[in-house]
Each structure stands twice: as C-alpha cells, then as structure tokens.
C-alpha cells in the first residue's frame, strides 16, 4: 500500500492527539507535579512542563509559545515556581512523565512495530527546520530515551508540538487569534465552542462563530499544508506504513 503526505498528515493527527492525552490528562501527571515538585497553580505542570524547554524566558514568550491557553492561566503558573526549580527542570520532570507513560502503556506491543513508529516519526521531525517553532524545537532537543516504548511516547509528543507550531502560524496568517481558534475548533464537543474557550481560561462575551468558521477551516488546511514537506521525506510506502502503525497502535491502547 502507498499513501501521500497529505493523506498521512490527516490520518495521524487525531491518533497523535489522543496518544498525548495519555499523560497530559492523566491524574497521575498532575499528582506528580503537586506532590513531588510542589507545584500549586492551576495547570502549572502542564504549562511549565511543556514550555519549560524554552528556559527561564519572559512570561510573554511562554504565553506566545503555548498560544491556546489564556494568558491569565499561563502567567501565575510561569511566575510562581517552587524554590530551587527552574523552568527547564520542570520540563525534564514533565518528560519523565511522558516516558514513564510510554514504558507502561506500550509495554505489550511488538518492539519492531514500535521501532518503526519511532524511526519514521523521527525522520519527519528531523526534516523540519528549527524556525517552525521554538516549543517544537525545544522538545526536539530533549534527551532521547533508550527504551523503545518511552521513545515512541516522546516522538508522538514532539509530533504534536510540531503540528501545534504550524497551527499557530496558520491561524495568525489568516487573521485569527488563539481565542478564535479555540472557539471555532473543528474538534467534536466538548472541545469546541464557548464552553471549551472558558475551559482554556478565556472569558466572554465571545464573538459570533459564523464570522470565523470558514477561516478556521482554512487554518486546518493551511496547517496540514505546512507539514506536508516534512512528511514527504518518507516514501509513499513508508507513509502508508506510518499512518497504519500510529492509528492501529493508538486504537489498541485503553485510555
């Protein structure tokens, strides 16, 4: 079987999003941040864990890198770290949760299949320029685990940050704000609309979604288009293989 870069970008988008929710939305991840690190602000481990690869940069830099979370959520999380911890320290702790999830959730899978996911995914990641986005590039520079399950977890995380970087550029190019993108998200409820915007820390009144719905769809297409050259580093047969492996592996994980 063969596939195009366009088909594969679309095919792996949702499975990779769902993969990463395995640790992003896992209560054990939040518990680790609170009990082991002493984090106290709402979503602090998620915010600083992801953006901490940027180092101890100004708050606005972290706000811009994350984009789709309201500034008033990011600011206290970024500016109130426990004594003795840096932003990069917390990113390394966050990576430890990613790889721990991979070690546990992927332990029963065929190692050859996992090696194939990791190898193909890393070729896509390595093909992208650093200019795609600082958060993506920061995560690409993080240490790579030895074991294949943890490596696959980290690779899927970087692929998600890669798409996130392209998506920020796409919505900006189309004159949309991060709030617009959240409001008119193309995800199924409840990850769209005013309730989802409030969940991400934004407050109303919100604009009429009909004003931005078409551009929001265009932003999805532009995001995919921006990623296609990096997926095109794989052959048509490899693209089909990568899409099938990512999709079937995700579907076999109970989460």
* Contact between residue 20 and residue 160 where contact means Cβ atoms under 8 Å apart: yes
Band of pLDDT at residue 255, cut at 50, 70 and 90: confident
pTM for this model (two decimals): 0.96
Sign of the C-alpha dihedral computed for residues 252, 240, 12 and 134 taken in this order: positive
Q: How far apart are CA 197 and CA 188, in angstroms?
A: 14
Tell me the angle at which helices 148-173 and 213-231 cross, rounded to the nearest 10 degrees.
130
Collapsing DSSP to helix, strand or coil, 53 comes out as helix
Q: How far apart are CA 79 and CA 86, in angstroms?
A: 10
Burial of 129 (0-12, 13-18, 19+ CB in 10 A): exposed
Q: How far apart are CA 73 and CA 63, in angstroms?
A: 9
Tokens 């915010």 correspond to what residue? 47
pLDDT at 146: 97
Band of pLDDT at residue 191, cut at 50, 70 and 90: confident
Looking at the predicted structure, is the pLDDT value of residue 254 above 90? no
Looking at the predicted structure, is the pLDDT value of residue 190 above 90? no
**Residue 147 half-sphere exposure, CB side, CA atoms within 13 Å?**
16
Q: pLDDT tens-digit profile of 39-56?
A: 998 899 999 999 999 999
User: What is the mean pLDDT of the segment spanning 191-211?
Assistant: 93
Q: Which sequence spans correspond to the domains of the chain? A: 5-237
Q: Count of CB atoms within 10 A of residue 123's CB?
A: 15
């Amino acid at each position: 079987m063969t596939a195009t870069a366009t088909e594969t970008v679309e095919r792996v988008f949702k499975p990779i999003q769902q993969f990463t929710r395995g640790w992003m939305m896992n209560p054990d991840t939040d518990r680790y941040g609170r009990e082991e690190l002493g984090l106290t602000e709402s979503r602090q481990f998620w915010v600083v864990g992801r953006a901490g690869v940027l180092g101890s940069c100004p708050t606005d830099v972290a706000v811009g890198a994350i984009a789709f979370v309201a500034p008033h959520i990011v600011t206290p999380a970024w500016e109130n770290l426990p004594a003795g911890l840096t932003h990069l320290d917390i990113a390394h702790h966050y990576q430890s949760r990613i790889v721990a999830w991979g070690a546990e959730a992927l332990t029963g899978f065929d190692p050859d299949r996992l090696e194939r996911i990791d190898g193909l995914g890393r070729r896509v990641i390595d093909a992208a320029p650093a200019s795609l986005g600082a958060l993506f590039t920061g995560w690409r520079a993080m240490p790579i685990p030895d074991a294949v399950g943890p490596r696959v977890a980290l690779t899927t995380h970087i692929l998600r940050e890669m798409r996130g970087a392209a998506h920020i550029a796409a919505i900006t190019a189309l004159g949309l704000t991060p709030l617009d993108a959240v409001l008119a998200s193309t995800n199924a409820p409840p990850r769209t609309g005013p309730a989802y915007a409030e969940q991400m820390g934004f407050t109303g009144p919100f604009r009429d979604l009909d004003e931005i719905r078409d551009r929001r769809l265009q932003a999805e297409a532009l995001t995919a288009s921006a990623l296609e050259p990096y997926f095109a580093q794989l052959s048509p047969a490899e693209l089909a293989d990568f899409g099938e492996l990512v999709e079937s592996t995700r579907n076999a994980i109970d989460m």
